[in-house]
Structure 1
Amino acid sequence: MKLTPPFGIDLGTTHSSAAIYLPGAAAPLTFDDGQGSQVMPSAVGLSPAGDLVAGRPAFDTRFGPTPPLTSFKRRMGHSDALQLGSRALTPVEASGHLLSALVARFAGQLQGHVEAAELRLERALITIPAYFDVTQAEATRQAGELAGLEVIGLLQEPTAAAMFYSWKHQLQDGNFLVYDLGGGTFDVSVIRCLAGEYQVLGIDGDNHLGGDDFDRRLAGLLRSRLNAAGYALGTSFDEPDDRLRFELLTRHARTLKELLSAQDAASLELDGSFSDREGRPVHASVEVSRAEFERAIDDLIESTLGACQRALHQSGEQAQVTLSDIDHVLLVGGSTHVPAVQQAIARAFCGEGVSRAEAPLSDSPEMCVALGAALHAATLGRLRIEADSGVAIELDDIPSGLGEALSGRVELARQGQQPEALELREASQTLARTALRATDAPGVWNFFVANLPEGVSERPSATLVDSAGVPLGSVPLWLPRRAPSERPAPMPALSNPAVLSRGIFLEVVKDGKPSRHALIPRGAHLPTRATHRLATADTSGAVVLQLFQDRLPIHTLVMPLPEHTAPGTPLTLELDVDETLMMSARGNIGSQEFWVRIDPPRTPAELDWPQIEELMRRAEAAGRQLWGMEARRFERDVAPLIAGMEVAVHQDPLRLQILARRLEALLDEFAPRAERIPGRGRVDATLDGIRRAVFSSTGDVQSITREQWRARLDHLSAEVARVWEGSDDAAWRQLADRVQATYETVVQDEARFLRADPEGHARRMLDTCQSRQARVRMDLREFALSADADRRALQEREIERLEQRLRDEVIAPLDELRASLDATPLARRTDALEAIHVAIDHLELGLQRVRTLGLLKRQES
């Protein structure tokens, strides 16, 4: 007998794993590498004989002449090849080879777990980060298929983790903040569980942030110590061997990081395994304290907290679930073992007055995604049972024992025989008989048995019989050997397991100009379907449907039309996106119908420097046209991006591309067209800000009642839509200015109202102080230092001075304020809050000065 149960795979950036929930098991079984580890390194390398190897054998070649490929999950969706010695592998090919090794090892481990049966691992559910787009999700599916798997689904990692925690800890309905910090990627999801069903309400993350970055920061600290000790290791990658030296330090740093999770200080002994720039072997003992390590990674942790806030903002807008509504904060990923991460999450998102979660939950953080995937796979995939007789049976729902309904599909491999019924038999009697219903697949029938009798053998056989009752073949019906009282808890259900990370748009024409029409907004629950009614605009004899995911073209469909089709002929377009981000479009124009599957787009080519310069010029032009709060928001976000790009062009080409794409996305939001600044999205966001300020007030705002405001805002919204679709750019600019002026006036009124409520005003000041200090802290840590050593030294000194001022004038006073909340009303500490705000103002100005440090000034005539 052969069993083919579905199972779950966590395809990770630094480590991967798998788990399976066998029917009748009390808990999922997890992968074991045979050396006491439940995870396999996500590495692909070359053996001494030149063969491809994956997992630990590949990881063990990291100090050899050909280092293995690692962190290729970060490149999923990219078609560029990764060089492994003389061989080139795409990220999909590397992932496929890793999955093959993982599944082969897991399958060997599982043999013997089911009596008299061979277990086959062929049908898998694979997890992906919450922010993966269509291209990245499809690349993951392709990797699974390349490994010979039938991929029964893709599940977002935070959702899988929430399912495991709920099952393991018997958590009831509630709201979850899932913080997933792995080796190379970070994502966060806000998930709601209602009546045992899970819904994703908000997502955010960064696929270039994880424990690997912690390692590199610690390696940078080690390099500085060794330079100070007299070794010539440099501060960048100016020489060809600099990167290799730094990579070796990074691998040592990983071990040091693990030690610092358990102790206050740790030492690294370097035995001369590599040399500095002058050829001297590096023999040194370097001690690092946990405090020093935490300071080095502080900004990275702050960056993850910002992503959490964005996800909470999204869930608040979509489902009114804010931080105060969070019941459980779940830690996922091996990098959450770092004490500073746990402490930061606890401070920011747990405790009385913050959320309902008393403290973060941490349970098998490296394995909880694979375990959750195994649980969900058991609810999605059928259990297939095959016998040598040629009969195979697939169970829709795996019963916990006898006395339950049984349904599924049955097939007979031998041709020319047509079964009439399926019988469940013991050796001496027929237990039940059911007619078969034909399916579309040849040789395959559906069946349903109302129940299995109690008090009989737990291993009856499923036998196909012909019209005369003659057996054509049978298969042992594998059922769990457990009493009803010992059955495992029911599986969790899952609805809306995924949300769309990037909006889907259609290019249309407005007043003779191309424009973008939103078909499905970012954050929409999947699966989803959107129907739009459009019309032809000319007599060209064809319709062109150009679809985009954000700004990335994903499909173009050209349909010829009958001659003389009149402009204005209606067209219906229906777009479907399923849980795995597979898309299809259907519709009709007149009597002509169409349907098309939308294949995942190719990842766009990397931007060259002239294209990046053009983005910078666009940003500079947009900054000149914005004013007030919008100008400050734009400058706050764009300045560090541009500074980082100018440095990364010489030091980190991959980072340069990431920053350039972020700048491109920022421009899409603020300035999608040069003649329309700000863009429609920013004006709509400003209108939402007015609504929040007006309707959160308990009284009139600007002597206007709530009903009058509602009518006024409805009129403004309609006017925004009408003018945006028109061709008058000057009218758009005037209207955008009017909306922004209204917003800034209302916000000022809101501040005056808050001052009439001293405690509310003080609470708002404290919240603003906390968010501003987090932003300044991150900006200081992420400041892109100059590639020139002399200028870099000037900047480092000034940054260090500003960091000290931040600790003394902002962080320490804020900590003191929070510690005294129980004893002293916050309203009596507004002077201290005002002083902190002023200190932050000075720090922001100081940071601006660092960017111009040492530059010349034009002499006034």
Structure 2
Amino acid sequence: MKLIPPFGIDLGTTHSSAAIYLPGAASPQTFDDGQGSQVMPSAVGLSPAGDLLAGRPAFETRFGPTPPLTSFKRRMGQSDELQLGSRTLTPIEASGHLLSALVARFAGQLQGHIAQAELRLERALITIPAYFDVTQAEATRRAGTLAGLTVIGLLQEPTAAAMFYSWKHRLQDGNFLVYDLGGGTLDVSVIRCMAGEYQVLGIDGDNHLGGDDFDRRLAGLLRSRLNAAGYALGTRFNEPDDRLRFELLTRYARGLKEMLSTHDTATLELEGNFSDREGRPVHARVEVSRPEFEHAIGDLIETTLGACERALHQSGEQARVGLADIDHVLLVGGSTHVPAVQQAIARAFCGEGVSRAEHPLSDSPEMCVALGAALHAATLGRLRLESDAGGAALELVDIPSGPGEPLSGQVELARQGQPDALELREAAETLARAPLRSTHTPGVWNFFIPALPEGVSERPSATLVDGAGLPIASLPLWLPRRAPAERPAPTPALSNPAVLSRGIFLEIVKDGKPTRHALIPRGAHLPTRATHRLATADTSGAVVLQLFQDRLPIHTLVMPLPEHSAPGTPLTLELDVDETLSMSAKGTIGAQEFWVRIDPPRTPPELDWPQIEALMRRADIAARQFWGMEARRFERDVTPLITGIEAAVHQDPLRLQILARRLEALLDEFAPRAERIPGRGRVDATLDGIRRAVYYSSGDVQGISRDAWRARLDRLTSEVARVWDGPDDAAWRQLADRVQATYETVVQDEARFLRADPEGYARRMLDTCQSRMARVRLELREFALSGDAERRALQEREIDRLAQRLDAEVLVPLNAIKARADALPLTRQTDALEAIHVAIDHLELGLQRVRTLGLLKRQES
């Protein structure tokens, strides 16, 4: 007999793993590589004979002539070709080969666990980051199929982790902040569990931020030390071997990073393992302290905290679940072993007065995603049993733990004939008979046995019989036993296991111009269905349905219309998106019906330099049209992107593409069309800012009552929708200016109100000081230094000077105020905080000057 249970796979950036919850087991069983590790390196390499390797054997070739492929999960969904010696692999092919090796090893490990049954691993649930889009999710599914698996589902990693923590620690209903920092991706989710159901309320993250970036920062520190010791390793990748040298240092850095998680210092001994630019073998002993490492990665950790805050902001808007409502903070991913990460999360999101979580929970951070996937797979997938002859198969839905409990599932018959009933037999004695009900799938029937009689053995047989009681097919039936005390906690019903990371739009025409109509918004719970009623706009004789995910075209459907169809012919469009991001559309146009499966889109090609230049020109044009606070917001967000692009163009092609796409997304938000600046989203956000200021106020604002403000804001909201949909660009600009002017006046009025409330004013000043300090520190650490060595040295000196001023003029006095808050009079607190704000103003100006350091100016005539 063949036993085919479902199992879970965590396909990770740095490491991958698997787990299975076998029927009758007390807990899930995890992957074991045979060398004491529960994870497999996510690496694909070449053997000396040129054969593909995966996992640890591939990782061990990292110092050989052909380094293995790693971190290819970061490129899932992209049309990249990865070079491995003389071979070329796509990210899907590399992932598929890795999955094949992982499953083969796991299947071998499990053989013999089930007596008299061959255990086969063919049906897997694979986890993906919550921030994966349609293309990346489909690429993961295709990798599983390439590995010979039947992919029974995709589950977002934070949800899988929350399931495991809930099961392991018997956590009750509550709100979870899941912080998942792996080797190559950051994934943050706010999840609510109610009555066993998990709902994802907010997501954020970065597909290009993880422990690998920690390794590169530490490698940069090692390179600087070696340069200072007289070796010529450079600071850029000007020579062909520069990148290889830096990659070697990155691999050494990974080991140092792990040592620094448990030790205050770590030492690297280099004994001529590689040579510098001048051909000199590098012999050196480099010692790195934990504070030095933490300083090097501090800005990256701050970036992860920003993702948490954005996810909490989204959950607050969608479900009114903010930081104060968080019951548990869960740490997931191997990079959460870094003490600085744990401390930053604890300070920011745990403790009395912050959230209900006393401290972050960390339990098997590398394995909790795979374990959660195994738990969910055990309920999502069915336990499949096949006869050795291959004539029949049973899939059990409900696994009984003893007599008196039901047994249900499906029967699949490969041979000719239609069974009428299923019998459980032992020693030729009929124990139970279940009638079979036909399903929509040919050759498949459902059955349900209300209760197994007393005395059922461990291994009865199942026989399919026809109407005359004659057997058609039979197979041994393995009925597992699980002691009631060992049964798992009630399995959660995942009504909303995932959310849509990017909105789905349809291109339509308004007033003779193409525009986008939102079909399903970003953050919608999956699965979801949206129905929209539209109409034809011309007499072209065809309907064109072009769908986008954000700005990425994902499907175009052209349907001919009956001859002489009049404009205004109604069309109904129904779009379905399931929890694995598979999409389909159906509808009617007149009397004509249509249905189409929406295949995943191809990844857009990389932007070339003229396209990137065009984006930067768009940013320059847009910047001149903003004013007031909106101008400061746009400049704050766009300036680091522009400088980062200019620095990455010759040094880091992959980061160049990432920054360019982020600039494109920022422009889509602030200035989607040249004639409509600002965009509709920014005006809506400004209206929300007015609402917050008005509704949070305890009294009248600008002499207007709250009810009058509500009516005024309702009128403004309607006017914004009407003018945006209209053809008059000048009217839109005037309305946007009026909304912004209202906002700036209300904010000033709010500031005056706070000044009349010394305690509230001091609290607001303190919060603002801390957020501004964090932003300046982040900008200092992420400053895109010039590619020119001499100018870079000028910038580095100035950045170091500003960082020292930030500590001395902002951090130290701010900590002093917080330490003495109870004893310090409010007037002295506010005076000191205002002085700190002035210091931050000067630092921001200094940061702007760094970008123009050494540049000339025109001589005044």
TM over 0.5: yes
TM-score tier, shorter chain, comes to over 0.9
1:262 maps to which residue?
Answer: 262
Q: Output the CA distance in 1 between the equivalents of 2:639 and 2:150.
A: 46
User: How far 1:826 moved relative to its partner?
Assistant: 6.3
User: How far 1:462 moved relative to its partner?
Assistant: 1.7
Alignment map for 1:619-634 (pairs within 5 Å): 619-634=619-634
Q: Output the CA distance in 2 between the equivalents of 1:392 and 1:645.
A: 58
1:409 maps to which residue?
Answer: 410
Q: Output the CA distance in 2 between the equivalents of 1:728 and 1:442.
A: 58
Q: Percent identity?
A: 86
1:187 maps to which residue?
Answer: 187
Whether 2:278 is the aligned partner of 1:278: answer yes
**SS of aligned partner of 2:385:** strand
**SS of aligned partner of 2:278:** coil
CA RMSD of superposed structures (Å)? 1.3
User: How far 1:279 moved relative to its partner?
Assistant: 0.6
User: How far 1:769 moved relative to its partner?
Assistant: 1.4
2:197 maps to which residue?
Answer: 197
Paired residues of 2:821 and 2:829 also in contact (CA < 8 A): no
User: How far 1:825 moved relative to its partner?
Assistant: 7.2
1:38 maps to which residue?
Answer: 38
Paired residues of 1:763 and 1:826 also in contact (CA < 8 A): no
Paired residues of 1:402 and 1:458 also in contact (CA < 8 A): no
User: How far 1:427 moved relative to its partner?
Assistant: 1.8
Q: Output the CA distance in 1 between the equivalents of 2:206 and 2:818.
A: 30
State the TM-score, normalized to the length of structure 1: 0.98
**SS of aligned partner of 1:580:** coil
Alignment map for 1:241-320 (pairs within 5 Å): 241-320=241-320
User: How far 1:453 moved relative to its partner?
Assistant: 1.9
How many residues matched? 860
Alignment map for 1:384-423 (pairs within 5 Å): 384-388=384-388, 390-415=391-416, 417-423=417-423
User: How far 1:476 moved relative to its partner?
Assistant: 2.6
Q: Output the CA distance in 2 between the equivalents of 1:149 and 1:686.
A: 49
CA change 1:656–1:826 in 2 (3 A) is farther
Q: Output the CA distance in 2 between the equivalents of 1:420 and 1:519.
A: 46
Q: Deviations over 1:121-140 (max 9, x none)?
A: 00000000110000000000
Q: Deviations over 1:218-256 (max 9, x none)?
A: 011011111111111111111111111111111111111
Alignment map for 1:742-761 (pairs within 5 Å): 742-761=742-761
Q: Output the CA distance in 2 between the equivalents of 1:824 and 1:373.
A: 52
**SS of aligned partner of 2:331:** strand
Opposite residue 181 of structure 2, the aligned amino acid is: L
Q: Deviations over 1:568-624 (max 9, x none)?
A: 222111111110111111111111111111111111000010100000000000000
Alignment map for 1:767-846 (pairs within 5 Å): 767-821=767-821, 829-846=829-846
Whether 2:859 is the aligned partner of 1:859: answer yes
Q: Output the CA distance in 1 between the equivalents of 2:201 and 2:486.
A: 35
Unmatched 5+ residue regions in structure 2? Answer: none
User: How far 1:739 moved relative to its partner?
Assistant: 0.3
Paired residues of 2:690 and 2:743 also in contact (CA < 8 A): yes
User: How far 1:547 moved relative to its partner?
Assistant: 0.8
1:6 maps to which residue?
Answer: 6
Q: Deviations over 1:738-796 (max 9, x none)?
A: 00011111111122222233222222212111111111111100000000011000000
2:687 maps to which residue?
Answer: 687
Q: Deviations over 1:122-163 (max 9, x none)?
A: 000000011000000000000000000000110111111011
2:174 maps to which residue?
Answer: 174
Q: Output the CA distance in 2 between the equivalents of 1:568 and 1:512.
A: 15
Paired residues of 1:761 and 1:827 also in contact (CA < 8 A): no
Paired residues of 2:25 and 2:482 also in contact (CA < 8 A): no
Paired residues of 1:546 and 1:555 also in contact (CA < 8 A): yes
Q: Output the CA distance in 1 between the equivalents of 2:566 and 2:817.
A: 70
Mean Cα deviation higher: 298-307 or 114-123: 114-123
Mean Cα deviation higher: 602-611 or 752-761: 752-761
**SS of aligned partner of 1:516:** strand
Whether 2:89 is the aligned partner of 1:89: answer yes
Alignment map for 1:496-645 (pairs within 5 Å): 496-645=496-645
Q: Output the CA distance in 2 between the equivalents of 1:826 and 1:186.
A: 40
User: How far 1:820 moved relative to its partner?
Assistant: 3.5
CA change 1:825–1:480 in 2 (3 A) is farther
Whether 2:695 is the aligned partner of 1:675: answer no
Whether 2:72 is the aligned partner of 1:72: answer yes
Unmatched 5+ residue regions in structure 1? Answer: none
Q: Deviations over 1:149-182 (max 9, x none)?
A: 0001101111110110011000011111101100
User: How far 1:94 moved relative to its partner?
Assistant: 0.4
User: How far 1:391 moved relative to its partner?
Assistant: 2.8
State the TM-score, normalized to the length of structure 2: 0.98
**SS of aligned partner of 1:8:** strand
CA change 1:16–1:485 in 2 (3 A) is closer
User: How far 1:406 moved relative to its partner?
Assistant: 1.2
CA change 1:825–1:447 in 2 (3 A) is farther
User: How far 1:465 moved relative to its partner?
Assistant: 1.8
**SS of aligned partner of 2:137:** helix
User: How far 1:494 moved relative to its partner?
Assistant: 1.4
Opposite residue 356 of structure 2, the aligned amino acid is: R
Opposite residue 654 of structure 1, the aligned amino acid is: L
Q: Output the CA distance in 2 between the equivalents of 1:833 and 1:75.
A: 45
Q: Output the CA distance in 2 between the equivalents of 1:165 and 1:781.
A: 34
2:218 maps to which residue?
Answer: 218
Alignment map for 1:431-510 (pairs within 5 Å): 431-510=431-510
Paired residues of 1:124 and 1:377 also in contact (CA < 8 A): yes
User: How far 1:838 moved relative to its partner?
Assistant: 1.4
Paired residues of 1:539 and 1:567 also in contact (CA < 8 A): yes
Paired residues of 1:759 and 1:825 also in contact (CA < 8 A): no
CA change 1:27–1:824 in 2 (3 A) is farther
Q: Output the CA distance in 1 between the equivalents of 2:507 and 2:18.
A: 42
Q: Output the CA distance in 2 between the equivalents of 1:643 and 1:483.
A: 63
2:725 maps to which residue?
Answer: 725
Opposite residue 618 of structure 1, the aligned amino acid is: R
Paired residues of 1:328 and 1:357 also in contact (CA < 8 A): yes
**SS of aligned partner of 1:762:** helix
User: How far 1:443 moved relative to its partner?
Assistant: 3.1
Mean Cα deviation higher: 93-102 or 687-696: 687-696
> Hey, which bits of structure 1, 4+ residues long, moved more than 4 A?
821-828
Opposite residue 235 of structure 1, the aligned amino acid is: T
**SS of aligned partner of 2:624:** helix
Q: Output the CA distance in 1 between the equivalents of 2:83 and 2:696.
A: 57
Mean Cα deviation higher: 471-480 or 200-209: 471-480
Q: Output the CA distance in 2 between the equivalents of 1:817 and 1:115.
A: 68
